[in-house]
Amino acid sequence: MTTEKHEADGVLEKAEALLEQTEEVIEEIVDLEECAREGRKPPRARVYRFKVNETLCTWEAPTILGRQILERAGLTPPDQYTLRQKIVGAPPKRIGLDDTVDLREPGIERFRAIRREQNEGEYEGRRAAPVLDQDRLFLDRYGLRWEVVTDGSTWVLLHDFPLPIGYSADRVVVAIRFESGYPITALDMMYVYPAITRVDGNPIPQTSCMQSLDGKLYQRWSRHRTPTNPWVPGEDSVETHVYLIEEYFRAGLANGGRLADADRGSACGVTRASFPGRRPGSRRVPGMRTGSRTGSSSSRRPSIGSSSRRRTMPRRAARK
């Protein structure tokens, strides 16, 4: 009975393989990241489109070798790079130069290539500081090179962080300080290297202070969560803070670099579903505000002579 079952399974597999080969091409070009985002398997197509880091590539067959992926992205010689495949809901998968990748495999988001001398050794060895497993998983999936640095405090550095058009640089290193007690203690603010400005000359509020870190001077962006959207232990993490940093950069170009009062609690209140590849249905990422923290006297008390100071109105004389 067991032998007959194996034979039947073998016949079924051959039939499925034959059906796969004879399946009609139903699309001209298929974008793998789009299919992964929509949760569907890429259909047969004449051309498959995918990203290697930020380079958009195409391939005219459903299978491809690891070295061919690197060559298509212009990363040569291929043996100088390590290649990883990013799949939705799974850790990045390392791909060898002669490994065959099925581009129709469900969930493929993109590929990440790193030069060997940048990945092996120094940076891999600088991840030993205590970072939560869920943070490591998110940072690996986020797609940027990252490392942990201990310099007074524990820091996570995100390299080549992309900026929206309008700043004096296209990419920067973003540093996140881990305060003692994280994840109960909130992550706050961000630090940028090199220091950036707006190309239109308008100032970016609360970015004049510098922080010495790892032998460099980082620009401190003083940004804090709003009282109505506080840090929630168990829900907030490196992931939500990084999403908020994306919004900090966007907000730095709006309204002369400053959010309007009516927008402070909502302009950054985007859902994770607003970002491709992020968990749908999650709670809102907390809002932000610039400058001093909530509750400080300087943020609430107007200066002497301020036009916002309340006037004391004289009382009406009592009726006789």
Q: What is the mean pLDDT of residues 307-314?
A: 39
| Residue range 154-205, pLDDT digits in tens | 999 999 999 999 999 999 999 999 988 899 999 999 999 999 999 999 999 9
Give the per-residue pLDDT at 173. Answer: 97
Contact 67, 98 (CB under 8 A): yes
Give domain limits for the chain: 20-116, 121-291
Report how far residue 71's alpha carbon sits from residue 220's, in angstroms, rounded to the nearest whole number: 39
Encode pLDDT of 279-307 as tens digits: 333 334 444 555 544 443 333 333 333 33
Of all residues in the chain, the percent with pLDDT exceeding 90 is 44
CA distances to 16, 31, 88, 176, 310 from 122, rounded to whole Å, are 47, 35, 28, 19, 59
Query: What is the pTM assigned to this prediction?
Result: 0.48
Q: Average pLDDT in the 14-33 region? A: 71
SS3 of residue 273 by DSSP: helix
Residue among 139, 141, 114, 104 at smallest CA distance from 30: 104
Q: Which residue has the higher pLDDT, 21 or 110?
A: 110
Distance separating alpha carbons of residues 87 and 99, to the nearest angstrom: 16
The third-level CATH classification (topology) of the domain covering 20-116 is: Ubiquitin-like (UB roll) (3.10.20)
Question: Given this model, what pLDDT does residue 234 score?
Answer: 84
